């Protein structure tokens, strides 16, 4: 199998790396117009909308964002929301997103749902001229900069997705920062009225569309974790070469060399699983196989990233936990990535359930 990148993919990787080197390191700045100008918002969109690429190109962007610790709502507002708009065939809204004219956030998780997109108590009641939505969503990523929220709600036909203006009457946002300072909000819909055109796709197709989009977003987080882990290992190796103990560099001690070798092995696992996740989406696998592949990748990456981060902190000593040094910030972000869109326990459970269902299926003859 050929894993080499095309000239176009190398150009994307290099341009994102240059941007991350200048605007990363956890700076909270809004570079959305720059993303639109460089074409990054159009990755995965149809060709007729000026889009290009797919999961591999998204991986290249997110890996460099991870390496540079770029604070950006890219996953939530481009990968997650963009995939929903594409599969719902709302080219009018997707074009606005790809051009940077409008921003979307996805409100799907509910209290006590524990990452389960199918656990939807928010209700959508059909009216004469549209829909009325009631319910509460929690941990909505990057909601405060979005002009429209894509809300999952239960209809008579199943779960539907609705485009709701962020400033709609009877909609309230409770904003708060995440552990590493990213934008999060809880959303309450107390009888919000929207028009008939707010429904994305059919009233009963929302769950399948949402689950596919969540898998795309999870794969993007896996790519970000790859960038975070690679930087943590590189920083650790450089530090042990410079720091001395008993008159010699720390890197000369065999026990520490073994520790960093183990970190490298885990990094290669992260790399393999991140590419597996992207290729699972690229191959257009059936939904069950897609979910198994994504959950396997997320579970393994969560385990490996935690090991790499913990060892990086341990080998740095006290400076690794200081605000002035970057490794602690990378570990903090990787810890949050581990829990976003499903933690290790959730994805292990989903993988086991799907694997069991696959084994139970009759073998065709």
What phi and psi, each to the nearest 5 degrees, are found at residue 207? -65, -45
Inter-CA distances, 244 with 91, 248, 253, 307, Å: 59, 5, 10, 24
The Cα–Cα gap between 162 and 122 comes to: 11
Q: What is the pLDDT of residue 124?
A: 94
Sign of CA dihedral 197, 208, 219, 89: negative
Which residues have C-beta within 8 Å of that of residue 208, sequence separation ≥ 6? Answer: 287
Count of C-beta atoms within a 10 Å radius of residue 283? 11
Instruction: Determine contact, residues 45/57, Cβ cutoff 8 Å.
Output: no
Delimiting residues of CATH 1.20.140.10 domain(s) in the chain: 207-360
Say whether 284 sits in a helix, a strand or coil: coil
Question: Which pLDDT value is given to residue 319?
Answer: 78
* Domain with residues 104-203, CATH architecture: Beta Barrel (2.40)
Beta carbons of 211 and 109 less than 8 angstroms apart: no
SS percent in the chain: helix, strand, coil, step 5: 55, 20, 25
DSSP string, 58-78: HHHHHHHHHHHT----HIIII
Give the β-pairing of 248-249 and 244-245: antiparallel
User: Domain 7-98 falls in which CATH fold?
Assistant: Butyryl-Coa Dehydrogenase, subunit A; domain 1 (1.10.540)
Fold of domain 207-360: Butyryl-CoA Dehydrogenase, subunit A; domain 3 (1.20.140)
Residue 183's DSSP bridge partners are 177
Instruction: Enumerate residues 6+ apart whose C-beta is below 8 A from 126.
Output: 155, 156
> What distance in Å separates the CA atoms of residue 362 and residue 129, rounded to the nearest whole number?
47
Secondary structure, 3-state, 178-213: CCCCCEEEEEEEEEEEEEHHHEECCCCCHHHHHHHH
The DSSP element (H or E) to which 130 belongs, if any, is: strand 130-141
**DSSP secondary structure letter of residue 363:** P
Question: Tens-digit pLDDT profile for the chain (365 aa)?
Answer: 566 888 888 999 999 999 998 887 766 778 899 999 999 999 999 999 989 989 999 999 999 999 999 988 999 999 999 999 999 999 999 999 999 999 999 999 999 898 999 999 999 999 999 999 999 999 999 998 999 999 999 999 999 999 999 999 999 999 988 877 778 999 999 999 999 999 998 888 899 999 999 999 999 999 999 999 999 999 999 988 888 778 788 777 888 899 999 999 999 999 999 999 999 997 667 889 999 999 999 999 999 999 999 999 998 887 777 777 888 899 999 999 999 999 999 999 999 998 876 655 554 44
- For residue 143, which of 169, 167, 115 has the smallest C-alpha distance? 167
Q: Which residue spans of the chain are classified as CATH 2.40.110.10?
A: 104-203
What stretch(es) of the chain map to CATH 1.10.540.10?
Answer: 7-98
pLDDT for position 312: 93
């Amino acid at each position: 199998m050929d894993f080499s990148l095309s000239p176009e993919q190398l150009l994307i990787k290099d341009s994102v790396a240059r941007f991350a080197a200048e605007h990363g390191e956890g700076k909270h700045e809004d570079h959305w117009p720059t993303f639109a100008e460089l074409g990054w918002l159009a990755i995965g969109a149809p060709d007729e909308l000026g889009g290009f690429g797919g999961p591999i190109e998204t991986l290249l962007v997110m890996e460099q964002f991870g390496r540079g610790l770029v604070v950006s709502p890219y996953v939530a507002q481009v990968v997650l929301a963009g995939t929903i708009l594409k599969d719902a065939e709302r080219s009018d809204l997707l074009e606005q997103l790809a051009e940077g004219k409008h921003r979307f956030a996805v409100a799907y998780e509910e209290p006590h749902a524990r990452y389960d997109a199918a656990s939807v108590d928010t209700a959508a009641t059909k009216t004469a001229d549209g829909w009325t939505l009631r319910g509460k969503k929690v941990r909505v990523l990057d909601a405060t900069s979005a002009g429209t929220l894509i809300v999952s709600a239960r209809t008579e036909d199943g779960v539907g997705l609705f485009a709701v203006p962020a400033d709609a009457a009877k909609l309230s946002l409770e904003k708060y920062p995440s552990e590493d300072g990213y934008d999060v909000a809880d959303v309450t819909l107390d009888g919000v009225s929207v028009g008939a055109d707010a429904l994305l796709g059919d009233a009963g197709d929302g769950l399948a569309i949402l689950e596919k989009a969540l898998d795309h977003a999870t794969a993007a987080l896996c790519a970000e974790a790859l960038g975070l882990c690679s930087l943590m290992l590189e920083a650790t190796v450089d530090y042990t070469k410079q720091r001395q103990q008993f008159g010699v560099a720390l890197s000369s001690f065999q026990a520490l060399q073994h520790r960093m070798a183990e970190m490298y092995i885990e990094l290669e696992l992260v790399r393999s699983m991140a590419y597996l996740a992207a290729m699972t989406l690229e191959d257009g696998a059936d939904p069950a196989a897609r979910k198994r592949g994504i959950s396997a990748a997320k579970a393994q990456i969560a385990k490996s990233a935690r090991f790499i981060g913990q060892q990086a902190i341990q080998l740095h000593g006290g400076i690794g936990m200081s605000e002035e040094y970057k490794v602690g910030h990378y570990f903090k972000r990787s810890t949050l990535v581990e829990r976003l869109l499903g933690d290790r326990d959730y994805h292990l459970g989903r993988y086991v359930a799907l694997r069991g269902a696959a084994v139970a299926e009759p073998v065709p003859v």
